[in-house]
Structure 1
């Protein structure tokens, strides 16, 4: 038994627990004051159990997150295989795809006790994520990010062209390290705006190459003037032509 009356010289058993005497005759366990050694020891016992439970919960969350990532990839595979089955059929592609998709969603809905609409949405989301954000999906499966990070990147990427999303992912994923999904979201949005502007400029440059002017002959000495250029220039030309016609 520990001698609670000798607070001037605590036995080694007490020191090993992290419980110390204060100048008022009480006891301190970490940052918590206790009125007796037993109370302090009970605190440490509960605290150690709490930390053990927290570690278990963290491990369970990680395992569940891994299963969720794997499930998302398998969902995408199911959707891709249904598309492939439809493509191999002799009947029209639209009809074949509808039949394959209906069969897939019906079976999964019955087995999973879910609605077909819910299953269809889950399959579509998984397929889109794997096709449009493969780097992010791989990072999720590798436990580098959580589902919340994936959703933050996914929302930010909505305004970016498919061609630019690979570069966007490569820049956004390192930003997730050490950050919560809420902290990552505004950073991902800022990155997305940069790629959105770059995509817009690229599209304008590509469209600029398609400029053309040509005349299509018509009956009775008439013709149609065709112009392909920027909308601003077309509006200006149309305005000048109308004014010239009125004059």
Structure 2
């Protein structure tokens, strides 16, 4: 029996209206996204025009950063994200205007536009881009973005004037590795590189995982030993971690083993009570505060206890028992106390919307030392290199108030206040009950 055979005429009419309304809403959304791209591209052009007036030697890079920071602070979005959006929007609006217009008219979606632009990104001749766009827009009008991807690549290949070898040589310059935080104390490590190398890496990991799996099965037969129940996926992940954390890059290392001597570093903050008692649940049903990696990622108690047992030293962060505010920092073997104090207080870059960990940031004077600024925690803060440069080479200004509160003034005069993040600690109510700092 058909699934909707019992539907009434009025129900089918309501469904038809709903589908039509959703189609109209999607077209409107695509139009609004195209309008946003136009404004972002315009912001990029304005930044370039401003920089060209002053003949800036950095090619407008710092001006674009400043403009992106202005937009991001208002939208509560990272200026890196805004700058990337500005770049993507400029690429769409300037190089593929017909695609942008088609999206603005609601004929194709933003997802279709991304597929078209990505596939034709290497078309340098303007006439080729115009012909390519006209052909692929027709396909986009009747295909989903996923199915359009293969079609767009095939169409783009017809207009390519360079060989795959030439394009691959250029694409290799963009190889990189990145990390993406996940949930439950997990993260992803990604790599963009030569397909032959990446597939070769995966194949070797697979061969090693299968060989280890077979050896474990043989070793467990006829014995009382515990069988290794890890899956091939789990073995691949564990082998990759082992190779990266303990292996030596023989093809790149120096004669004295400089790279081999480098060890991985992470920064973990853990409430003392959690370290002593592990993860516990209070009478109110709330879990005790977990340890955190770089002030953002929760970590399980097993990992924390492992780090605690192997760490050469710990920074102690003393906090107020009721407010949770940081009071001071010391160490059993003190060194660079002021830097540790700032890392513990700031936890991340102190520019609004930026979340780069403090240990990866510069420590900078709010009032320059040359202008009489004191080298103290009242006049220092952690800034990532990007926002450190923005502070010194753009109209952005910062003033530090009591408690490490920073007041940023943007080029247009807007005020953005950034407070030190809450400490990962336990606080106590007056009645003596434990409350998590949420």
TM-score (norm 1): 0.58
* Mapping for residues 227-238 of structure 1, pairs under 5 Å: none
Indicate the residue corresponding to 1:125 in structure 2.
Answer: 88
Gaps of 5+ in 1: 1-29, 34-39, 202-247
* Mapping for residues 25-174 of structure 1, pairs under 5 Å: 32-33=5-6, 43-89=8-54, 91-94=55-58, 97-163=60-126, 164-174=128-138
RMSD of aligned alpha carbons: 2.5
Gaps of 5+ in 2: 164-438
Q: CA, structure 1 residues 200+99, in 2 after alignment: closer, same or farther (shift >3 Å)?
A: closer
- For 2:45 and 2:21, how far apart are their aligned partners in 1? 36
Indicate the residue corresponding to 1:200 in structure 2.
Answer: 162
Shift in Å at residue 67 of structure 1? 0.4
Indicate the residue corresponding to 2:155 in structure 1.
Answer: 191
- For 1:166 and 1:48, how far apart are their aligned partners in 2? 42
- For 2:14 and 2:137, how far apart are their aligned partners in 1? 35
Indicate the residue corresponding to 1:177 in structure 2.
Answer: 141
- For 2:100 and 2:36, how far apart are their aligned partners in 1? 11
- For 1:129 and 1:138, how far apart are their aligned partners in 2? 10
- For 2:70 and 2:158, how far apart are their aligned partners in 1? 43
- For 1:161 and 1:32, how far apart are their aligned partners in 2? 54
1:160 match: secondary structure: coil
Shift in Å at residue 133 of structure 1? 1.2
Shift in Å at residue 186 of structure 1? 1.7
Greater mean alpha carbon deviation, residues 77-86 or residues 163-172: 163-172
TM-score (norm 2): 0.34
- For 1:172 and 1:46, how far apart are their aligned partners in 2? 37
Assess if the C-alpha contact under 8 Å between 2:41 and 2:93 holds in 1: yes
Shift in Å at residue 44 of structure 1? 4.3
1:145 match: secondary structure: coil
**Number of residue pairs matched by the alignment:** 161
- Once the two structures are superposed, residues 195-232 of structure 1 have per-residue CA deviations (whole angstroms, 9 ceiling, x without a partner) of 11xx138xxxxxxxxxxxxxxxxxxxxxxxxxxxxxxx
Indicate the residue corresponding to 1:15 in structure 2.
Answer: none
- For 1:125 and 1:81, how far apart are their aligned partners in 2? 16
Would you tell me which structure has more helix in proportion to its own residues? 1
Shift in Å at residue 45 of structure 1? 4.2
Assess if the C-alpha contact under 8 Å between 2:34 and 2:104 holds in 1: yes
Shift in Å at residue 158 of structure 1? 2.5
- For 1:171 and 1:32, how far apart are their aligned partners in 2? 41
Shift in Å at residue 134 of structure 1? 1.6
- For 1:105 and 1:121, how far apart are their aligned partners in 2? 9
Q: CA, structure 1 residues 160+102, in 2 after alignment: closer, same or farther (shift >3 Å)?
A: closer
